[in-house]
Structure 1
Amino acid sequence: MVTFRELLAGFEALPIRGRAVIAHASYKSLGRVQGGPKAVIDALLKTCASVVIPTFTYGTMVTPLAGPPNNGLDYAAEEANRRAGGSSLTYDALPFRSDMPADEEMGILAETLRRRPDAKRSLHPIFSFAGVNAEHTLGRQTIYDPLAPIGALAEKDGWALLIGVDHTVNTSIHYAEKLAGRRQFVRWARLSRRIVECPNFPGDSAGFNEIAPYLENDAQTVTVGEARVRAIPLSQLFIHVKALLKADPLALLCQLDSCGRCRAVRETI
């Protein structure tokens, strides 16, 4: 069983002491943890100056019957899937609330951080972030710039922390893609009284492990419990992603024929 002291020793062995971090984590990858998810978050907060974790809520998303072309969506197919699932409503998503739980795919550590009394949460209806000691970082987000908190972290010499996960969940790569000029998309989300347009929705992440070899000299890795934990400086991550996309505009795209967003990116190159 992993103790709090072992968690702390592992995190402090990385160059993130006193730093701002954005964390992506699989709690189960650590093995059994004494104190549960709270102990992991406590160890991170004792190590780092501030901790931010995505608390995205994809359940708020709606798809109109028609929309912009080359938007990585088959509008008719989305409507057919909705009706096949038994819904007679075009807009059957849940309205976003500030206390809405993060999607399960965000992981239990995201929800554990969100529920802390000292945590704050940004209010994007799809791409919210929760954080402790991160008010300025979270405040940078707008409906037009959903991933701006990642840029704010980079300005503070922040780090991306991957706990038992790979780059396919590394949201910071999406931000770097935008910096490199990669096509972004439009999606829509439900609020309590209206539907809002959410521009600058990123592409797919299934191909993101392609960046891993380029980060070998910058990433620092330790083992914590049963998990491989990697810390990557955001500034270097951005440099490598932009350089890779400049050399190969098709880099980081997935190879799935069914992926509308990657197909849309290819069609614009």
Structure 2
Amino acid sequence: MSTASGGAGLTESHLTHQLTDLGLEAGSVLLVHASLRSLGKVEGGAVTVLRALRRALGPDGTVIVPTFTSDNSDTSAAHRERVRGLSDEARAAFRRHMPPFDPATTPSTGMGVLAETIRLHPESLRSAHPQTSFAALGPRAVKVTADHSPDCHLGEQSPLARLYDLRAHILLLGVTFDSCTAFHLGEYRLDSPPRRSYRCVIHRDGRRQWWQYDDVALDDSDFAALGTDFEHADPAAVRVGTVGTARCRLLNLVNAVDHAQDWFPTHRGHRAADR
């Protein structure tokens, strides 16, 4: 189906047809990473995109987005960038005023407007991890978001493992394999993956407090290369198409995680990006 022409933007109907042509199926469980800017003009913006996704998935489908937060961590690369150049006194003051994570109110950091639109939806459920939460809409939302262990970012006690069990799909809507969070589950499934310490500020026992924990050292620096290899090795697991003006991919999450688990031992050393 053609896209809107002239000065008109994409409509919900346009987007629904294009998403269906890409391969979205009714009743699916779908993890979405999106750059709405890449779609071009959309009438109604992110709300319209969400409606199109839900329409394509139908009433039995579930849509999930990462709603990660870095503003409450002082061990993240984002935090170090914010305090770069500040005096010791200014750094200490900045740290004292960092807000604790609240799953009901804390906005996501750098996840995009669609993720925030889903997080703020009145029917949305959000997992409780203070750094790597996910928000979900649909009949599988409870199963996906429940019991996200606070010391497991993206492993067996996280929504990614539940999505694996549900044989979910991943939609890269105008973004590349660099954004494919599910690859991290492959890191957790390695034999003795490297670990590191993380620290963030939370609200517990009625007060603001800092909490430190150990978890797998997350590294997404080679996800572009991993994704390219996955697409070449298993082309049937990846559908490529255009939605609006955006190049998009629809992936089988199980295949992607399994490929990552096999790929990491022979393609990377023990390096880790900060979160």
What's the TM-score bracket when you normalise by the shorter of the two chains? 0.7 to 0.9
Of 33, 36, 39, the match for 2:45: 36
The 8 Å contact of residues 140 and 152 in structure 1, kept in 2 or not, is answered as no
Deviations 1:65-86 (A, max 9, x none): xxxxxxx99xx99988553682
Report runs of 4+ in structure 1 exceeding 6 Å deviation: 76-80
- The equivalent of 2:4 in structure 1 is none
**Residue 225 (structure 1) aligned with residue 232 (structure 2):** no
**Residue 197 (structure 1) aligned with residue 209 (structure 2):** no
The two structures have a TM-score, normalised by structure 2, of 0.80
Deviations 1:123-146 (A, max 9, x none): 111111111121111014111222
In structure 2, distance between residues paired with 1:262 and 1:35: 36
Q: How many residues align?
A: 244
Deviations 1:173-215 (A, max 9, x none): 1121111243232211111321122432542323210112332
In structure 2, distance between residues paired with 1:227 and 1:106: 17
The 8 Å contact of residues 83 and 91 in structure 2, kept in 1 or not, is answered as no
Structure 1 segments unaligned to the other structure (5+ residues): 64-71, 254-260, 264-269
**Residue 153 (structure 1) aligned with residue 153 (structure 2):** no
State the Cα distance separating 1:47 from its structure 2 match.
2.1
The two structures have a TM-score, normalised by structure 1, of 0.82
Listed as ranges, the matches of 1:14-25 within 5 Å are 14-17=22-25, 18-25=27-34
Structure 2 vs 1, CA of residues 46 and 198 (structure 1 numbering), >3 Å: closer, same or farther? farther
Deviations 1:63-106 (A, max 9, x none): 4xxxxxxxx99xx9998855368233354422111211111x11
For the residue of structure 1 that corresponds to 2:31, the secondary structure is: strand
In structure 2, distance between residues paired with 1:167 and 1:96: 28
- The equivalent of 1:139 in structure 2 is 146
Structure 2 vs 1, CA of residues 184 and 7 (structure 1 numbering), >3 Å: closer, same or farther? farther
The 8 Å contact of residues 198 and 212 in structure 2, kept in 1 or not, is answered as yes
- The equivalent of 1:67 in structure 2 is none
- The equivalent of 2:65 in structure 1 is 53
In structure 2, distance between residues paired with 1:77 and 1:119: 31
Of 127, 135, 142, the match for 1:130: 135
The 8 Å contact of residues 22 and 242 in structure 2, kept in 1 or not, is answered as no
For the residue of structure 2 that corresponds to 1:106, the secondary structure is: coil
State the Cα distance separating 1:52 from its structure 2 match.
0.8
In structure 1, distance between residues paired with 2:171 and 2:217: 20
Structure 2 vs 1, CA of residues 220 and 184 (structure 1 numbering), >3 Å: closer, same or farther? farther
- The equivalent of 1:87 in structure 2 is 91
Structure 2 vs 1, CA of residues 220 and 79 (structure 1 numbering), >3 Å: closer, same or farther? closer
State the Cα distance separating 1:6 from its structure 2 match.
1.4
The 8 Å contact of residues 194 and 216 in structure 2, kept in 1 or not, is answered as no
In structure 1, distance between residues paired with 2:267 and 2:183: 15
- The equivalent of 2:5 in structure 1 is none
Say what the alpha-carbon RMSD is for the aligned residues.
Answer: 2.6
Structure 2 vs 1, CA of residues 92 and 233 (structure 1 numbering), >3 Å: closer, same or farther? same
- Give % identity: 26
